[in-house]
Amino acid sequence: MNKKLLSLAVAAGLASSSAMAVDLNNAAAPGSNVYATEIAIGAAGATVLAPTSNNSVTVNAGFSISDSTERYMRFDITGATFTDATGLALAVSDSGGAGGALEVQSSGGAAKDAYVIYEVTASGGDTVATTNDAVLALPNLTVTSIGAIGVTYSLFADAIDAVNNTTANALATNTGTVASAGAATSVTNTTTAGGKLASSLIDVTTGTKKFVAGSGGLTTTTNTIGSVTLADSATAGNQTDGATDVTHAIATASGTLVVTGDFTATQDLTALAPDGTYTAASAVFIDSATPYDCATSSLGATTVTATTATFAAFGAAASTNSAICIKVNSVSTIAAGSYSAVYTPKANTGYTLSATTLTTGTLSKNGSTTILNLALSPTGAYPSFIRVNNTSNIAGDVSITLINDDGDSETFDMGTVSGQTSSALAGQASSGLLNVVDLLTAAQAVDATFALGANSNKLRVSISGEFSTIAAQSITTSIDGNSFTTF
């Protein structure tokens, strides 16, 4: 049950009903009612429903009462007050039969009161035994705080103790719950890492610009970043009358889903280059059609930014099963990482709903990656090199991404670097020393505009291999070649 959805306006009218009858003598099944916390009833329009005959609190007297002795039964309500006195009554059984004792209301029980006291004596010649029942018929109740509505019974021998509620002098006490509060709509989401259908893998052989193709609509350019399966629960979906199920009346058919993650690979292209705009909102979409494989665009994003995709009319909380899909531009680098979402259902009139944060999925690479955070300038005085190690037992290709200090990047295969005959590394094998000058040349062969940063001539190097573990070193030699430093 999602506690974020609990909300009930103060001063909501809680109706008396047979479903609210509570037996304080039966701890295992007291019979208290559960009402939906999403109900929002303002003080000005508080709902007051007529009580029914069986709306009651039952409790053992707890101490004997003779026909010549007055005892005082006090009932305190927490979380609510009496709306009015209509229907408020106490019936105490004695040896003469059910309801045979004499009861006189002596204090409390008026509108806005949260307690009532009755003076009780047994009828002539009879006795109220400790196990005889006292049955309090409740009037309408006005909720004063969100949560359970409790009742406390206390029996006093002295009227002053009863009025002052001096519990230390009570002959008997008992407590219970008249009504509890629970969310009628419980929003949950279940997904597996990388999406509901298949692991969403970024293909490092494409310079991390495309996906590993799956089945159906899961292609090299379109894949899932996770799934959303929303469901509501009817475990606590009653109106304040204790009987009317409101579970499916709480949310409308619309709601908002905001997915957060890296969407830079979906940005627009100008002259085949990413331009930082996201006008193609259809590049992020929801597939609600079985088998949820991104083959169908059931709902396109309303807006997309570098970090969010917003769906303004996602759907009701009940039975919404969807894959969240993205279509990349095949030019931008696809970033590995996780995605999350915030679902905000739209409530119908009379109800209040809150947003819920959901876990969706994860994008990962089909291999391993390591990053060298410092490669000295290829135009500097100190020659700089990198060395790549395949630390697994499986052979695979290696791709390299150069990142300048302005944040620009370019990806190329290791085999395109001068002096290299292949991009592949055998298991446990290492590359030769790759000169940073040659790395820059290989990057510029892919994009001639790639250059060192405007204010700094250092580089970072991201190296990905099609195998499970990878390592790399950045090496700089002295001018005379007699010494070197490894980063």
Domain assignment of residue 210, yes or no: yes
Residue 314 sits in the same domain as residue 223 = yes
Residue 312 sits in the same domain as residue 392 = no
pLDDT at 394 over 60: yes
- In this predicted structure, what is the pLDDT of residue 391? 92
Residue 331 sits in the same domain as residue 411 = no
pLDDT at 36 over 80: no
Domain assignment of residue 187, yes or no: no
How far apart CA 236 and CA 15 sit, in angstroms, is 16
Residue 283 sits in the same domain as residue 145 = no
Q: What is the pLDDT of residues 200-221, one digit of tens each?
A: 788 877 878 899 888 788 899 9
Range(s) of the domain holding residue 66: 3-182
Residue 17 sits in the same domain as residue 159 = yes
Higher pLDDT among residues 21 and 286, named by residue: 286
pLDDT at 329 over 90: yes
What's the pLDDT band for 32 if we cut at 50, 70, 90? low
- In this predicted structure, what is the pLDDT of residue 174? 95
Task: Single out the residue in 319, 345, 365 at which a domain terminates.
Answer: 365
How far apart CA 120 and CA 126 sit, in angstroms, is 13
Number of domains in the chain: 3
Residue 361 sits in the same domain as residue 241 = yes
What pTM does this model have?
0.61
Residue 116 sits in the same domain as residue 255 = no
Domain assignment of residue 461, yes or no: yes
Domain assignment of residue 192, yes or no: no
Q: What is the pLDDT of residues 60-74, one digit of tens each?
A: 999 999 999 999 999
Higher pLDDT among residues 467 and 275, named by residue: 275
pLDDT at 451 over 50: yes
Residue 160 sits in the same domain as residue 225 = no
Residue type, 319: S
Higher pLDDT among residues 48 and 186, named by residue: 186
Task: Single out the residue in 299, 330, 365 at which a domain terminates.
Answer: 365
181-201 average pLDDT score: 59
Sequence length of the chain is 487
Residue 55 sits in the same domain as residue 93 = yes
* Residue in 111, 36, 46, 51 with CA at minimum distance from that of residue 81: 111
Domain assignment of residue 125, yes or no: yes
Handedness of CA 29, 33, 37, 43 (dihedral sign): negative
- In this predicted structure, what is the pLDDT of residue 41? 56
With beta carbons less than 8 A apart as the criterion, state whether 237 and 246 touch.
yes
Domain assignment of residue 111, yes or no: yes
Residue 46 sits in the same domain as residue 110 = yes
Task: Single out the residue in 182, 211, 236 at which a domain terminates.
Answer: 182
Domain assignment of residue 237, yes or no: yes
- In this predicted structure, what is the pLDDT of residue 455? 79
pLDDT at 410 over 60: yes
Higher pLDDT among residues 8 and 398, named by residue: 398
Q: What is the pLDDT of residues 106-128, one digit of tens each?
A: 999 999 999 999 999 999 889 99
Residue 168 sits in the same domain as residue 274 = no
- In this predicted structure, what is the pLDDT of residue 81? 85
How far apart CA 397 and CA 464 sit, in angstroms, is 8
Domain assignment of residue 350, yes or no: yes
With beta carbons less than 8 A apart as the criterion, state whether 401 and 447 touch.
no
Residue 178 sits in the same domain as residue 41 = yes
The CATH number of residue 417's host domain is: 2.60.290.11
